[in-house]
Chain A
């Protein structure tokens, strides 16, 4: 409750897109353009389920146990893997709890919404950063353009 009050006080200040400090500099471009991985190779359920999922460290280590082990970022990765922890990735997309949004990737993929519509040009992104600013207006505009439902309960329940 207190938090909301502060939010209200800060409401006139426009919030810039979060620049997440990622624990490891993960270059999407390398993985997509050079290694030719598809989005769903790592975000395994992006096309079918609600959540796209962020791959676990074991997935990274499948390749990086052998590949590019000499690079400093990969050394960091190996260190975390050795500690028995997960990589503390900062989520760059998501909805605050107060927004009460139930977003599902599945239907969007099924209706052929390209990943880039919401995630921007990830193939050329150097790090995991938000490239597209999301707000309710973006969702609604797209929904209306594509004749998808703009019933509030489509997303909020």
Chain B
């Protein structure tokens, strides 16, 4: 890495400068990692890799061709030695990502976020090398520092804290299951720190917990959407920001139109007109947090109508619980017209291939109840392990981290290590992250771009972009053992280092033995005998067929026994904190996800599917409320909870559920590069500190807020301001 200290990258040079620099002194070329004879202009090379824009683990193919940039380096020529010279550097560059057709998650397809992740690789705001805090913590003033020194300082600090209180070293990361999180876990173990905690609003803890409680399954259940005929999805925006959007969208396409004579029918119950609700044939607008009641009502009606052929497989206690529900109260709680609800359930029950798909796109205090209820209904319908039903997850090639109690961990922490987590953005103000970051003795970040939390670090040891280094990712949902693998095929742009290598260096500095596991080491015990590792690397991963020794045989009806008692299954009403008349419902933006992609201009400029907003995200207000409060689209409004307030532009959403204020995540970054810093507001900021009790996950939908109009504003920028296809003037 010291070798690369030789050159520093010009931050101001633009493509135009490159283009017009022909014939000037910068025309000299230096060959670096990729010898130019291997890089013929106009020839494309495809390398498999993995998308890390979200934890789905889509296998991708990267199109690599030649690129050019201008670098500055210290001359080694005798006559000019020591002086900096500007050189044009030809290098292999990633031009585009496509889904890897051999990958079972992406199947050759890719979502908007995946497409845009090249832009995080070539983001102008990436950190060029290690940075050390030079001002007061949180002021985000840094100065460059060499890797050698940075590692020395960091390991010194960690060593000191380890000696005093190793259990107070908090490692905070994201929900991914990959070689990077695995290395973090190994490092934590090696230095005696607690297991890393997950800081994310998209870790799908409720889905995992419910599968464990109801079906005794470890991992996220796999829904066989393709082979279902009638799907009732509840609370899961599975085409938008849910577990594996590409995979489920692929399945959805096939579900709808891949079979002759059969067209899948989708009914969707959610408290928001999400893109799944839009794609559905029927949308049942739920009151927030009433998914559990809704599903209980569904089960009860199915039983009443004798449309639950496999009811016998459901434990008697659970059946009794369903039969004992006060149906009228349940229906009233959902806010849906009874006739409509009954019709929807009857349609489901009478279908030849019914499937209930439930999740918690918006997390409530009873989300686990709701998903357990869905599993029970699927049991009644005979869907467990059946084609067109819900399939058990395969053994995860890499176990994801699941402990979501990052706020507690941070509040105790003497040393904080941040990787792929931005707790200052993801956690509400009421979680007191800022205080924890101020109080901690040492804050270390591996951020690639200076984000809200990295701004509070003492040292930033920037990681390679995931496309620059070797990586293996276990997909978040799969019915077979799978691993997506990416190699290092482009030269790192800057003085960055892969996180496992950094951790190894830190461990060495702390005199701790720690060797991060390579993708090969992880994969080899799982590989079928006839599948050599070279093939896995060439194909970008593997997807082991069932029946192979490494794959656990699908348990037949494991579920029936798993639902231990009716006590684990009850329908608790969702709890809401605060006293405003509206419910705030932050949701994962189909473009910016949980805000971790807000620094990508392609995504900022991709219109929000609901409001068509670009470079801004509004709060969605229903027309009746808006009229009552005199709010028009584009007005600035104030959302006020018990713990704080934010000012955001309003969008009058014709499909918003009255009383619910939905808002996509992505805005409100204090620090996140030129494309995101200071843009919009973050609804997570004002959430109450409510948790889903079974998982400890932050309940994102549990906050009541007040809404007041501030006045006209200019913050809502819409790509298309027209909501209706027909213009009002069209007819006399």
A–B interface present (Cβ within 8 A): yes
List residues of A whose CB falls within 8 A of some B CB: 3, 44-45, 49-51, 53, 55-56, 58-59, 82-86, 88, 90-91, 97, 104
Report the minimal beta-carbon distance from B455 to chain A, rounded to whole angstroms. Answer: 37
Residue contact B42 to A49, C-beta cutoff 8 Å: yes
Q: Does B76 reach chain A (CB closer than 8 Å)?
A: yes
**With A56-B35, A85-B28, A85-B87 in contact, is A90–B23 under 8 Å at CB?**
yes
* Residues of chain B contacted by A88 (CB below 8 angstroms): 27-29
Report the minimal beta-carbon distance from B339 to chain A, rounded to whole angstroms. Answer: 57
Partner of B41, one of A53, A56, A82, A86: A53
* Residues of chain A contacted by B332 (CB below 8 angstroms): none
Instruction: Give per-residue flags for B86-123: 1 if the beta carbon is below 8 A from chain A beta carbons, else 0.
Output: 01000000000000000000000000000000000000
Report the minimal beta-carbon distance from A63 to chain B, rounded to whole angstroms. Answer: 15
Instruction: Give per-residue flags for B53-93: 1 if the beta carbon is below 8 A from chain A beta carbons, else 0.
Output: 00000000000000000000001110000000001000000
Report the minimal beta-carbon distance from A32 to chain B, rounded to whole angstroms. Answer: 21
Residue contact A86 to B36, C-beta cutoff 8 Å: yes
**Residues 26-41 (chain B) with a chain A CB within 8 angstroms:** 27-31, 35-37, 40-41
Q: Does B43 reach chain A (CB closer than 8 Å)?
A: yes
Residue contact B42 to A58, C-beta cutoff 8 Å: no
* Residues of chain A contacted by B87 (CB below 8 angstroms): 85
Residue contact B76 to A84, C-beta cutoff 8 Å: yes
Residue contact B40 to A51, C-beta cutoff 8 Å: yes
Instruction: Give per-residue flags for B14-30: 1 if the beta carbon is below 8 A from chain A beta carbons, else 0.
Output: 00000110110001111
Name the residue among A50, A56, A82, A88 with the largest chain B CB count within 10 angstroms.
A88
Residue contact B30 to A50, C-beta cutoff 8 Å: no
Residue contact A86 to B31, C-beta cutoff 8 Å: yes
Partner of A51, one of B19, B27, B42, B75: B42
**With A85-B30, A86-B29, A88-B28 in contact, is A50–B35 under 8 Å at CB?**
no
* Residues of chain B contacted by A56 (CB below 8 angstroms): 31, 35-37
Some 7 contacts from A to B, beta carbons below 8 A apart, are A49-B42, A50-B43, A82-B77, A85-B29, A86-B30, A86-B36, A88-B28
- On chain B, the number of residues with a Cβ less than 8 Å from chain A's Cβ atoms is 20
**Is chain B's interface secondary structure helix, strand, loop, or mixed overall?**
loop
Instruction: Give per-residue flags for B499-511: 1 if the beta carbon is below 8 A from chain A beta carbons, else 0.
Output: 0000000000000
Residue contact A59 to B37, C-beta cutoff 8 Å: yes
* Residues of chain A contacted by B30 (CB below 8 angstroms): 84-86
Q: For the complex, give the distance between the alpha carbons of A59 and B41 in Å.
A: 17
* Residues of chain B contacted by A90 (CB below 8 angstroms): 23, 27
Residue contact B27 to A49, C-beta cutoff 8 Å: no
* Residues of chain B contacted by A49 (CB below 8 angstroms): 40, 42-43
* Residues of chain B contacted by A83 (CB below 8 angstroms): 75-77
Report the minimal beta-carbon distance from B699 to chain A, rounded to whole angstroms. Answer: 52
List residues of B whose CB falls within 8 A of some A CB: 19-20, 22-23, 27-31, 35-37, 40-43, 75-77, 87
* Residues of chain A contacted by B75 (CB below 8 angstroms): 83
- Cβ-closest chain B residue relative to A91: B22
Q: For the complex, give the distance between the alpha carbons of A150 and B406 in Å.
A: 65
Q: Enumerate the 6 nearest inter-chain pairs by beta-carbon distance, A residue then B residue, closest first.
A: A50-B42, A86-B29, A51-B41, A83-B77, A88-B28, A88-B27
- Cβ-closest chain A residue relative to B43: A49
Report the minimal beta-carbon distance from A35 to chain B, rounded to whole angstroms. Answer: 20
Report the minimal beta-carbon distance from B389 to chain A, rounded to whole angstroms. Answer: 48
Residue contact A58 to B28, C-beta cutoff 8 Å: no
- Cβ-closest chain A residue relative to B22: A91
* Residues of chain B contacted by A91 (CB below 8 angstroms): 22
- 19 additional contacts (CB under 8 A) given A49-B40, A59-B37, A86-B31: A44-B40, A49-B42, A49-B43, A50-B41, A50-B43, A51-B42, A53-B37, A56-B35, A56-B37, A58-B37, A84-B76, A85-B30, A85-B77, A85-B87, A88-B27, A88-B28, A90-B27, A97-B19, A104-B42
- Cβ-closest chain B residue relative to A106: B42
* Residues of chain A contacted by B29 (CB below 8 angstroms): 85-86, 88
Report the minimal beta-carbon distance from A23 to chain B, rounded to whole angstroms. Answer: 9
Residue contact B77 to A44, C-beta cutoff 8 Å: no
Name the residue among B23, B37, B42, B76 with the largest chain A CB count within 10 angstroms.
B42
- Cβ-closest chain B residue relative to A105: B42
- Cβ-closest chain A residue relative to B19: A97
Q: For the complex, give the distance between the alpha carbons of A109 and B232 in Å.
A: 60
* Residues of chain B contacted by A82 (CB below 8 angstroms): 77
Q: For the complex, give the distance between the alpha carbons of A53 and B90 in Å.
A: 13
- Cβ-closest chain A residue relative to B76: A84
* Residues of chain B contacted by A3 (CB below 8 angstroms): 20
Report the minimal beta-carbon distance from A6 to chain B, rounded to whole angstroms. Answer: 12
Q: For the complex, give the distance between the alpha carbons of A84 and B73 in Å.
A: 12
Q: For the complex, give the distance between the alpha carbons of A53 and B40 in Å.
A: 7
Q: For the complex, give the distance between the alpha carbons of A51 and B36 in Å.
A: 13
Q: For the complex, give the distance between the alpha carbons of A59 and B31 in Å.
A: 13
Report the minimal beta-carbon distance from A93 to chain B, rounded to whole angstroms. Answer: 13
Q: For the complex, give the distance between the alpha carbons of A49 and B19 in Å.
A: 22
